Amino acid sequence: MQIKAPRGTYDILPDDAVKWQFAEKTIRRTAERFGYREVRTPVFEHTELFERGVGVTTDIVSKEMYTFKDRSQRSLTLRPEGTAPCVRAFIEHSLYGGVLPVKWYYLGPMFRYDRPQTGRYRQFQQFGVEVFGSDNPFLDAEVILLLINILSELGLTDYEVHLNSVGCPQCRDAYRHKLIEHIRPVREKLCDDCRVRFEQNPLRVLDCKNETCHLAITGYPVLMDHLCSECREHYEIVQAALRENRVTYIHDDNLVRGLDYYTNTAFEVHIPGIGAQSAVGGGGRYNGLVQECGGPDLPGIGFALGMERLLTALDSREGENTLSRGIPVFVAVMGAELEGTGLKLLQELRQAGIECDKDYNQRSPRAQLKYADKLGARLVVLLGEEEAQKGILSIRDMQSGEQISITATEAVSFIQKKLAESGEENAG
Ligand code: AMP
């Protein structure tokens, strides 16, 4: 029986890993420029954390978690998202007593038992940020600007920002009743999930994935008309700050998050060109979450970006293939008795910071040159009997075909200079 990767998972082979490294590096650099620092939390947590921190009525918790009992019969769950673990770590290490706000970013795998399709996997990677300890609306704008800066640093310009405010529990309360009354007469037209949840959680009907639910509730009252003056002002400042920084956004009444700990700003970013799953990231403010998870009453805000969808967007950029690169230097050994000398030379070059390789499969000299070409080598160092005896090396430029001989002692600095001229990274 051939064993394959589990459904909804995938391998990243080295040619693709180069793109991941590029995206990850760019994202980290951008986040750090904004004053965020990396946090790494475990891949599994106590199940209860997600039940409380994500909410038992959400699809994630009710249908999609990888939950298992360990050998001590504790219920553990592979993390389906990164916010609840960050909140847990923030509380567990009493960071609320230190300098605020705390600005974190994370990058790592998440797990959801969802129906796999293009852009949706069971193990996927998210980059996310969380900020704890400030309710300043300019911070909401900064968080959105970070997301947008990441996209433009990656060369992605074709995106749409959707924005809304979900108010606070107080202004939402009056609104909820109105919405329930609007939905009740048409409840038979709703999907099974919405029919059950609309009384308990009517906002969830607004972001249901089923088009029929949307049609059934057309003309519904919008939350924006029910915000209290504080929430309205918060939203206005966020919008003005975005406009001042030339961010174009779409106000979207459908963008809601149906749980009480979500407050004020909610946003989502779509890249329309990447297919049906066009949402690359989303987030918002969650002023009630830290307390919900057992901490003090401190505000928070964050977002998560789906790395697979970002990479799809990167792939669909036209004419962009500067990322695949080979090994810059290859040492061709002309005879088995010189293998040891070859390895010693590699060691010297590598210690000088030069990426290099040699043949390990007894190829003929001709075949080694072909192999060097396949590896994408810019320079080939030819190490023959005669050269070894005289203490010299021949170095061939694979692009121009030009070949020169130099003394072995000059080799490292010569190669470094040549690579620097041709703009190779890692030239030492
Ligand atoms: P969420 O945590 O559900 O708000 O999702 C944030 C982002 O993560 C989405 O916009 C997607 O880009 C990505 N994402 C969520 N679920 C998946 C999944 N199952 N597979 C791939 N990407 C996902």
Task: Say what the pTM is.
Answer: 0.90
Return the CA Rg of the chain. 28
Q: Cis link prior to 296 (omega < 30° from 0)?
A: no
The bridge status of strand 102-111 relative to strand 37-38 is: parallel
Q: What percent of the chain has pLDDT over 90?
A: 78
Distances (CA, A) of 45 to 61, 63, 110: 13, 17, 12
Q: What is the pLDDT of residues 301-325, one digit of tens each?
A: 999 999 999 999 998 876 555 566 7
Ligand 1 atom with minimal separation from the 114 CA? 19
Place of tokens 């998050």: 257
Nearest C-alpha to atom 14 of ligand 1 is from which residue? Answer: 306
Q: How far is the CA of 306 from the centre of ligand 1 (A)?
A: 5
Predicted confidence (pLDDT) at residue 258 exceeds the cutoff of 80? no
Residues framing ligand 1 (Cβ under 6 A): 81, 112, 114, 119-121, 124, 126, 279-282, 304, 306, 308-309
305 CA: nearest ligand 1 atom: 7
Q: Atom 21 in ligand 1: which residue has the minimum CA distance?
A: 120
Q: Which atom of ligand 1 is nearest to the CA of 119?
A: 21
Ligand 1 midpoint to CA 386 (Å): 60
pLDDT tens by residue, 154-207: 999 999 999 999 999 999 888 988 999 999 999 899 998 888 888 888 888 887
